[in-house]
Amino acid sequence: MTTDYPNDATPDRKTAKPAVADAQTQRALARVRTALERRNGAEAIRFFKDAVAHGLIREDEALLVWLRQAMGDDAAEKLLAAYARLPCFYCHSGVIPCEECNGRGHDADNRPCAECLALGVDRCGFCGGSGWFTINHVPGAFRLRVMARRVAAAAKEAETLLAAAKVAVSPANLREARKAAAKTLLQGNRLLCVLENMRLAATQAELYQPDSGEIVAKIVAACAKLSPPLSARVHELLTMLAEVAALEAAAAKRSSSRRMAEARCEFYRHVVSSRNSATTLLAHPFLYREDSGTAPPAKPADTASESDTVSEAGDR
């Protein structure tokens, strides 16, 4: 793979110097760098995409190498970090109001909404529930490193979530306990969404990106390590929601409220006991697929395939 990345039509091939950006490109990069220094990642990315759109920067497999030379390692890392932290434009923290129940948590007959677990919110379809800018819109040359950063951030957040004290349920704190359980359940599920999305994207990247094996192996291993305790915590929280609903039913003054609480309790208990959340926002079919066990995938051979079987290999 070439490390030379001339950005104009007449590259100087006689000199073996690193790629040098022309004055216009340097001005564009300076704007990106200034935005990064101001810690305005979204603006830096906007400037960067502008420069790409104007043909000043070419998005190809050598982009990151070129950028490190043209901007410096530190600024390039900051740009990667900005991409990793860019939120989804469509949702807040990976969730949107549930379309099945219009955000009410139950249907017209007051039965709990299975899709959203009676919580009223569902996973965002744009970001797959991760809350992050979709990885397919990140320049191809940046993706693996952005994925690694997202997985590292998710691991840190998971550690905090798993170490947090559990709220005890009592008749005196039902509202707080229900809110806390729902909030933590959605946080845990968002982390599972991040892991699932990154695992899927990493294993796809491995097909077309040479030298990706080490990062892919780390991502797959992190998913294998973090997913079971997070899933277990999510199921504990469903049990907690069932406990809350049982106490709410016991305390209900109106029969309609009591019946709704009983239905929620029964529903949560069923999801927990059946271990089947395939039809809910907790479904993660790609988290535990085939090679997600303890053995990391083999390092790629140096016969890196230029396969174009993955349609999202490039951004175009």
Cα–Cα distance, 262 to 80 (Å, whole number): 49
Q: Which parts of the chain fold into alpha helices (H)?
A: 23-37, 41-53, 63-71, 73-85, 143-163, 174-208, 213-251, 255-274
Longest dimension (CA), the chain: 86
Joined together, the tokens standing for residue 29 give 């990069």
What is the per-residue binding string for Zn ion in 103-142, x denoting contact by CB under 5 A? ----------x-xx-------x-xx---------------
C-beta of 7 vs 187, nearer to Zn ion: 187
As measured in angstroms, the least distance from the Cβ of 111 to Zn ion is 11
C-beta of 98 vs 169, nearer to Zn ion: 98
The count of chain residues that interact with Zn ion, using the rule CB under 5 A, is: 12
As measured in angstroms, the least distance from the Cβ of 103 to Zn ion is 7
C-beta of 124 vs 148, nearer to Zn ion: 124
C-beta of 65 vs 234, nearer to Zn ion: 234
Placement of tokens 């094996």 in the chain: 213
C-beta of 20 vs 96, nearer to Zn ion: 96
Instruction: Name residues contacting Zn ion, limited to 59-88 (CB under 5 A).
Output: 88
As measured in angstroms, the least distance from the Cβ of 49 to Zn ion is 19
- Give every CB contact of residue 73 below 8 A, 6+ residues apart in sequence: none
- Give every CB contact of residue 277 below 8 A, 6+ residues apart in sequence: 271, 283
C-beta of 75 vs 193, nearer to Zn ion: 193
Joined together, the tokens standing for residue 150 give 């997202």
As measured in angstroms, the least distance from the Cβ of 96 to Zn ion is 7
C-beta of 124 vs 237, nearer to Zn ion: 124
Joined together, the tokens standing for residue 184 give 């933590």
C-beta of 95 vs 222, nearer to Zn ion: 95
Cα–Cα distance, 247 to 267 (Å, whole number): 15
As measured in angstroms, the least distance from the Cβ of 279 to Zn ion is 12
Three-state DSSP at 96 gives: strand
Burial class for 50, CB neighbours closer than 10 Å (0-12, 13-18, 19+): middle
Closest CA to 230 of 195, 277, 182, 197: 195
C-beta of 216 vs 241, nearer to Zn ion: 241
Joined together, the tokens standing for residue 6 give 């001339």
What is the per-residue binding string for Zn ion in 90-109, x denoting contact by CB under 5 A? xx------x-xx--------
Contact 185, 234 (CB under 8 A): yes
Look at the alpha carbons of 194, 199, 204, 207 in this order and tell me if their dihedral is positive or negative. positive
As measured in angstroms, the least distance from the Cβ of 116 to Zn ion is 3
As measured in angstroms, the least distance from the Cβ of 88 to Zn ion is 3
As measured in angstroms, the least distance from the Cβ of 40 to Zn ion is 21
Contact 296, 217 (CB under 8 A): yes
As measured in angstroms, the least distance from the Cβ of 281 to Zn ion is 9
- Contacts to Zn ion by CB under 5 A: 88, 90-91, 98, 100-101, 113, 115-116, 124, 126-127
